[in-house]
Structure 1
Amino acid sequence: MSGLIRFKLSFMMFLEFFIWGSWFVTLGTYLGKNLNATGAEIANIFGTQSWGAIIAPFIVGLIADRYFNAERILGILHLVGAGLMYLMYSAGTAGEFFPYVLGYMILFMPTLALVNSISFRQLNDPEKEFSGIRIWGTIGWILAGLAISFVFAWDSGESIEAGALRNTFLMASIVSAVLGVYSFILPSTPPTKSAGDNSSVSDILGLEALQLLKDKNFLIFFISSILICIPLAFYYQYANPFLNDIGMQNPTAKMTIGQISEVLFLLALPIFFKRFGFKNTILIAMLAWALRYVMFAYGDAGQFSFMLLIGIALHGICYDFFFVAGQIYTDAKAGLKYKSAAQGLISLATYGVGMMIGFWAAGLIADHYTSIKETNIAQFWQQVWVIPAGIAVAVMAFFFLFFKSEKVES
């Protein structure tokens, strides 16, 4: 692979995740503080990510794989997305905001698969080369958070009250337009299938991999994957509003500690995987999930602020030791025939079904404790965070009891 192609792919990844990180992290804070959204409204808006994840395979499988070059579809999706993001920037109420974000997420979620597809088609040795490309996406997400806190100071208390977080959507719109135009100079990535390919809907969605659920261990892992995404949704939906409410300075920048941790623990994963095995690696991830929320429940922005920072840093273990380890396990269990289908099925179950349930539950719980929030903000958040901690412990117990240890080749 030439240096020019490596640069093009790396910059594509950087822009892709800069866009996502520039508005999604602070979305919950913006909705609550500036649009006065209820917990249910916030849940519905975050749930658009799940709808996007469910619909994405149809866009990629029915259009990108058959009719048009992937880089051209990527460009069109981001150009249209830039317009929708501007409408989100202009929206004045949660009700007005919802259809724009729904349309945007339906278009954005397929781009996550498209940037991977474009990259893999250009790599000679994807197993060795892809991580060097993908890491620029994480760098993009981190720099977006640092820019919000340290360059623009949009997430400071006074700025939030003045509606400065609205500018995150404008920034995302501009960068989305840049990526949309830039996509047309990316390496050519033509369709992999003919327009007349008669693959069924079950093929496109990876439903043929359902046969793997006949394996008891994989079934337990599959159920656990859905269930653990319920507490994960609490973090995405409420971590930033929580840190703002309790008075942490530069919360968006500090949340990038989670992405830095993700890079570090990704390097440590093979060591843990080899030494402790798949089951114990997953259990460590689930324990980290529970500990994260305990840290959030009992930490504060004063003398116990270290607990909040530890909770954020645990994101690397939570994500890498579960999702990446789970991808390795799924790949090993699926075999050659079902590799792609199985990964698609797990993504549909987690980012689609699991997180949709989690967003709904988080909104329901936040609304339930609204009366406490009006009188004691610290107690409100403590009540919110102990629930996903308990869910994570329950899922960990379920996985520990019913999943039988087995050797998995990474």
Structure 2
Amino acid sequence: MNLNVKLRLSVMMFLEFFIWGAWFVTLGTYLLTNLKTSATEVGVAFLTQSIGAIVAPFIIGLIADKFFSAQKILGVLHIIGAILLWMASSAPNFAAFYPYVLIYMIVYMPTLALVNSISFRQMTNPSKEFPPIRVLGTLGWIIAGFTIGWLGWEKNGTLDLTFKTAAVASLILGLFSFTLPKTPPVKKDSATTISDILGLDAIKLLKNRSYLVFFLASVAICIPLAFYYNFTNPFLNEVGMQGAAGKQAFGQVSELLFMVLMPFFFVRLGVKKMLAFGMAAWVLRYVFFAYGNIDSNYWMLIAGIVMHGICYDFFFVTGQIYTDNLAGERFKSAAQGFITLATYGVGMLIGFLISGPIVDSYKTGDNAHNWFHVWLIPAGIAGVVLVFFLLLFRDRTNMATNPKLDLDEPKDMTLEV
């Protein structure tokens, strides 16, 4: 892959996640303070992510893989997205705002797979070439957060500018996409089934009892995860943290750090301990939020944010590696699609539905909540999931040998790294 292509893919990845980070982190605060919504409506707004995640495979499987080049679809979706974001910024109330964000997430979520597809198709050695390009995406999210915090849009009540900023970036990426390397459809002459699109062939992995435990834990742990996405920014602003969006970007900084350190931990801890530490980090993060404050326990708020690297990398990235290892060549793509649908689709959908009403039930006044009790609830859910996982997960397969799972026979394999 030549330098010109690498630079174009890096710019694409940076803009892709800058767009998302520019408005998504502060969405809850914008809705509660600017549009005067309830916490339940905040949950409904975030729920659009899960709807988009469920719809995305159909757009990719039925359109991108069959009829049109990926870079052209990426361009069209981002141009449409720019219009929707700009219109959302001027919506006077939640009823007018919601259709824009719903359609936008249905349009945006497929682009996450498209940028990966465009990148992989240009690479001869993705395991080495993709990480340096993908890291630009995380950097884009970080820059978006730092920018919002530096400009003080939360404090000034001008969070509508986040949507306009994201809209401009989306338009730029939409136009830029047509200059990306050609990525024609790969399944133009093949039949595509619903099972292919949703990765349902990978359901055979659930014959493995330990993988079934991991799968159920993955869905369940996404329920408390929804609390973090929905209400961390409103919580931090409510307790008085200055530049909360910028502080939250340190979570992505830690994600980068722990991603680099993962091989070190993987060899020493193994998969079960990695997954367990990831879930335990969710418990500890929410406990920090419950007991943290802007005064003597300010460090707890920062620690809860910085723990994002352990929360995400140790559980989700390790889980993706575990899934890839057990699936083998035949079911790799289907397995990753299946676990993504289950977590970001089903698990977070449940979390988005229940988190809003729970926060509403602890409302103590205008833009005031009893956050201590709110955060102990996701901490408790994550704790129950952790105990369930520790008691029932028994897989100790040596992943260094890259064994292939016999999908015809349910086995309780072991995992030692």
Same fold? TM cut 0.5: yes
Give the Cα–Cα distance (whole angstroms) in 2 for the partners of residues 28 and 406 of structure 1: 41
Contact 1:286 1:396 in 2 (8 A): yes
Contact 2:283 2:380 in 1 (8 A): yes
Give the Cα–Cα distance (whole angstroms) in 1 for the partners of residues 222 and 263 of structure 2: 23
Give the Cα–Cα distance (whole angstroms) in 1 for the partners of residues 303 and 2 of structure 2: 40
Cα drift, residue 373 of structure 1: 4.5
Partner residue, 2:373: 383
Cα drift, residue 197 of structure 1: 2.2
Partner residue, 1:280: 273
SS in 2 for 1:345: helix
Residue identity opposite 2:140 in structure 1: G
String of CA shifts for 1:342-381, please: whole Å, max 9, x gaps.
00000000000000111111101012112x3459x46x11
Contact 1:332 1:408 in 2 (8 A): no
Whether 1:224 aligns to 2:214 is no
String of CA shifts for 1:235-261, please: whole Å, max 9, x gaps.
000000000000001101000110000
Give the Cα–Cα distance (whole angstroms) in 2 for the partners of residues 381 and 298 of structure 1: 9
Cα drift, residue 405 of structure 1: 3.7
CA distance 1:408–1:246, shift in 2 (3 Å): farther
5 Å-filtered alignment, 1:10-409, equals: 10-150=10-150, 152-156=151-155, 159-160=156-157, 164-194=158-188, 196-370=189-363, 372-373=364-365, 377=368, 380-409=370-399
> How many residues in Structure 1 have an aligned counterpart in Structure 2?
400
Give the Cα–Cα distance (whole angstroms) in 1 for the partners of residues 274 and 176 of structure 2: 40
CA distance 1:297–1:169, shift in 2 (3 Å): same
Give the Cα–Cα distance (whole angstroms) in 2 for the partners of residues 198 and 261 of structure 1: 43
Partner residue, 2:415: none
Give the Cα–Cα distance (whole angstroms) in 2 for the partners of residues 226 and 207 of structure 1: 16
Percent of matched pairs sharing the same residue: 55
Partner residue, 2:412: none
Residue identity opposite 1:186 in structure 2: L
String of CA shifts for 1:111-160, please: whole Å, max 9, x gaps.
0000000000001210011000000001100000111111x21022xx12
Contact 2:22 2:166 in 1 (8 A): yes
Contact 1:51 1:106 in 2 (8 A): yes
SS in 2 for 1:185: coil
Residue identity opposite 2:354 in structure 1: A
Contact 1:278 1:407 in 2 (8 A): no
Cα drift, residue 183 of structure 1: 0.1
Contact 1:329 1:408 in 2 (8 A): no
Give the Cα–Cα distance (whole angstroms) in 2 for the partners of residues 108 and 312 of structure 1: 26
Give the Cα–Cα distance (whole angstroms) in 2 for the partners of residues 63 and 100 of structure 1: 22
Contact 1:9 1:119 in 2 (8 A): yes
Contact 2:149 2:244 in 1 (8 A): yes
Unaligned regions of 5+ residues in structure 1, if any? none
Residue identity opposite 1:44 in structure 2: V
Give the Cα–Cα distance (whole angstroms) in 1 for the partners of residues 93 and 195 of structure 2: 38
Give the Cα–Cα distance (whole angstroms) in 2 for the partners of residues 80 and 212 of structure 1: 38
Give the Cα–Cα distance (whole angstroms) in 1 for the partners of residues 122 and 148 of structure 2: 33
Cα drift, residue 38 of structure 1: 1.1
Cα drift, residue 407 of structure 1: 2.8
Residue identity opposite 2:348 in structure 1: M
Contact 1:29 1:241 in 2 (8 A): yes
Give the Cα–Cα distance (whole angstroms) in 1 for the partners of residues 207 and 139 of structure 2: 40
Give the Cα–Cα distance (whole angstroms) in 1 for the partners of residues 337 and 395 of structure 2: 24
Contact 2:241 2:294 in 1 (8 A): yes
SS in 2 for 1:256: helix
Cα drift, residue 234 of structure 1: 0.4
Residue identity opposite 1:139 in structure 2: L
Residue identity opposite 1:401 in structure 2: L
CA distance 1:92–1:325, shift in 2 (3 Å): same
Unaligned regions of 5+ residues in structure 2, if any? 401-417
Residue identity opposite 1:154 in structure 2: W
* Ranges of 4+ aligned residues in structure 1 off by more than 3 Å: none
String of CA shifts for 1:389-410, please: whole Å, max 9, x gaps.
0011100000000000413526
Residue identity opposite 1:109 in structure 2: M
Contact 1:277 1:408 in 2 (8 A): no
Contact 1:230 1:355 in 2 (8 A): yes
SS in 1 for 2:399: coil
Contact 1:78 1:179 in 2 (8 A): yes
SS in 1 for 2:24: coil
String of CA shifts for 1:317-339, please: whole Å, max 9, x gaps.
00000010000000011111110
